[in-house]
């Protein structure tokens, strides 16, 4: 992962072929000491693990896609779960037949490039476990 541009709280990041994006964002978050950010992205990947959340089972149902895909859109945020970064990413991906797949992104390996625009937030964002859903939800810190 390379930082292409850094202007105040904005970063333009480039991931190259064979790099894993989720782990790269976590590493970047730790190095930059980020406690809150939002991001968008696009590019191409050779594999992605997507999921959806089964509320009854309180678990993510994961599926691997090992094929060349256009990254049509990535949208997400970075927060803290305890002291560790939590990257929440969703994506839409285009297949060679022009159909699309999408979901919650757990893992993604770059095929050509992946470009991420990340905006650091001035405030700390935290997550906490919600017992009803089983999810780590954004925590409201406003009194």
Bridge pairing between strands 136-138 and 127-129: antiparallel
Where in the sequence is the domain holding 54, given as residue range(s)? 2-138
**Predicted pLDDT of residue 124:** 92
**Predicted pLDDT of residue 100:** 98
Measured between alpha carbons, how far is 75 from 85 in angstroms, rounded to an integer? 16
What is the overall mean pLDDT for the chain?
96
How confident is the model over 66-112, as pLDDT tens digits? Answer: 999 999 999 999 999 999 999 999 999 999 999 999 999 999 999 99
**Residue 64 lies inside a defined structural domain of this protein:** yes
CB 104 within 8 A of CB 52: yes
How confident is the model over 2-37, as pLDDT tens digits? Answer: 999 999 999 999 999 999 999 999 999 999 999 999
Q: Six-digit token pair at 34?
A: 């980020």
**Residue 14 lies inside a defined structural domain of this protein:** yes
How many domains are there within the chain? 1
- In this structure, the number of other CB atoms found within 10 A of the CB of residue 10 comes to 12
Measured between alpha carbons, how far is 8 from 37 in angstroms, rounded to an integer? 13
**Residue 143 lies inside a defined structural domain of this protein:** no
Question: In the block, which residue shows the tokens 């390379």?
Answer: 2
Closest CA to 72 of 111, 118, 41: 41
How confident is the model over 32-47, as pLDDT tens digits? Answer: 999 999 999 999 999 9
Residue 29 maps to which CATH number? 3.30.1330.80
């Amino acid at each position: 992962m390379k930082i292409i541009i850094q202007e105040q709280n904005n970063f333009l990041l480039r991931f190259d072929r064979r790099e894993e994006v989720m782990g790269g964002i976590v590493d970047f978050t730790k190095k930059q000491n980020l406690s809150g950010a939002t991001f968008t992205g696009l590019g191409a990947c050779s594999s992605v693990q997507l999921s959806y959340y089964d509320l009854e089972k309180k678990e993510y149902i994961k599926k691997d896609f090992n094929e060349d895909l256009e990254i049509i859109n990535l949208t997400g945020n970075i927060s803290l779960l305890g002291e560790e970064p939590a990257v929440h990413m969703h994506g839409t991906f285009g297949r060679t037949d022009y159909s699309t797949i999408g979901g919650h992104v757990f893992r993604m390996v770059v095929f050509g490039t992946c470009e991420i625009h990340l905006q650091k937030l001035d405030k700390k964002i935290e997550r906490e476990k919600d017992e009803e859903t089983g999810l780590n939800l954004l925590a409201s810190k406003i009194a």
